[in-house]
Amino acid sequence: MEKLSIAMVSPYDFSHPSGVNTHAVNLSRYLASQGHCIDLLGPCSDSYYEHDAYEGITFHSLGSTIPFPISSTAARISLNPKVYFQIKSILKNQFDIVHIHEPFMPLTSLSTLLLSKCPKIGTFHAYHEYKNNYAILQSVVSPLMNLIDHAICVSEASKSYIQPWMHNFTGNVSVIGNGIDTSKFKNSIKPYINNTPFTVVFIGRDEPRKGLTLLLKALENLSYSNYKFKLLVAGLNDLNSYNNLFPNIFKSFEIECLGSVHNDLIPNILQTSDVVCVPSLGGESFGIVLLEALASNTPVIASDIKGYSQILSQQNYPLIPVNDASALEHALESLILNPELRHNMAELGTDIVRKYNWTAIGSEIESIYWNMCGR
């Protein structure tokens, strides 16, 4: 079977969980399973992660990172000039395709974009309502677009984000969503047993846009009722600052902070949950956590933002207004009181997630590789 040599590049620290890295690793795993030779490049601050679950993939660690402010978040990227020369050395290998995630992000992705001489794919993951990341550099970014042969956007939201840079772009553009490994998730509908704690899961970094404060406001209102809740928070190291803001929740409900959680442990967390809350305020191009919850037959309460609605509205899945604690409170209460609603939402999720498995997503991207190589 003919195979390709592919360099897969991500600018973000592989020792810190991120949606982009999850995408890059899972795509690499799929391509390796198809017999292709994959070199995965990216910074990695913790050597523990350098050889973690990348069977069949050659991982090149590009060193440590620092927090870099991007819109309302802080991404961990490398700004060490050595990265440029490391990438230059790696690219001496004869790759058929170089696939760069967030291709304008310094230094890893941008260096690869500038140095690579072979066909290049750039995948754009980001979306921000206020395009202030690259807007001031538009005169620089727009010409860089033509260093990319094929642009992939993970959603219509991310496509709209890069639209201002594409006036003179001569390459192709595709919208191909993120994928998940559905085989990792148990898809049996879980019954809720009355008079036991209703388990709510939140997975996300400690950033205002992720909406944890909104969830805690909703639970604060429900803490004066007779409902029993258990809250599992993954992605934060502690909840001390929230304890001071919402003391009644911590007195009334069982709350567990799980810290930074490896991706391979997410299915177990979801399997124990009755609902996953994703009350983001904006700035999301896609929702991997949404898909993972749906693949687990777990109902999801999600904000009606562009990156989420394009996934959930396909099956008229219910969404809540953005930044509305009262709506979130009522959605939680409805799920506790209505077993039929929980069952219906779980079944809708099964229909939605089917098109986002990695076999479907990976084969679509693989076909672009073959076309670019003229095979």
Residues 64 and 213 in one domain: no
Give the burial class of 69: count Cβ atoms within 10 A of its Cβ; 0-12 exposed, 13-18 middle, 19 or more buried.
exposed
Please give the backbone phi and psi of residue 252, each rounded to the nearest 5 degrees, phi first: -90, -35
Residues 191 and 137 in one domain: no
The whole-number average pLDDT for the span 336-361 is 89
Residues 319 and 290: their CA atoms lie apart, in Å, by 12
Q: pLDDT tens, 59-96? A: 999 999 998 877 667 789 999 999 999 999 999 998 99
CA atoms 295, 297, 300, 305: torsion sign = positive
Q: pLDDT tens, 37-59? A: 999 999 998 865 555 556 779 99
Residues 233 and 298 in one domain: yes
Residues 48 and 175 in one domain: yes
Q: Check: CB of residue 83 under 8 Å from CB of residue 104.
A: no
Residues 146 and 17 in one domain: yes
pLDDT at 258 over 90: yes
Residues 36 and 23 in one domain: yes
pLDDT at 104 over 90: yes
Beta-carbon contacts of 246 under 8 Å, excluding residues fewer than 6 positions away, are 216, 217, 219, 220
Helix ranges, 34-92 (H): 82-90
Indicate which CATH number applies to the domain containing 14.
3.40.50.2000
Residues 207 and 244 in one domain: yes
pLDDT at 285 over 90: no
- How many structural domains are present in the chain? 2
User: What are the distances in angstroms from CA 127 to CA 265, 284, 307, 314?
Assistant: 27, 6, 8, 20
**Tokens encoding 1:** 């079977």
Please give the backbone phi and psi of residue 273, each rounded to the nearest 5 degrees, phi first: -95, 155
Residues 123 and 175 in one domain: yes
Q: pLDDT tens, 170-212? A: 999 999 999 988 888 876 666 666 678 999 999 988 888 899 9
Highest-confidence range of 64-68, 215-219, 249-253, by mean pLDDT? Answer: 215-219
Residues 193 and 153 in one domain: no
Residues 346 and 362 in one domain: no
pLDDT at 136 over 80: no
Domain limits for position 222: 183-355
Predicted pLDDT at 130: 52
Q: Vertex 327, ends 73 and 267: CA angle to 5°?
A: 55
Residues 214 and 161 in one domain: no
Residues 172 and 211 in one domain: no
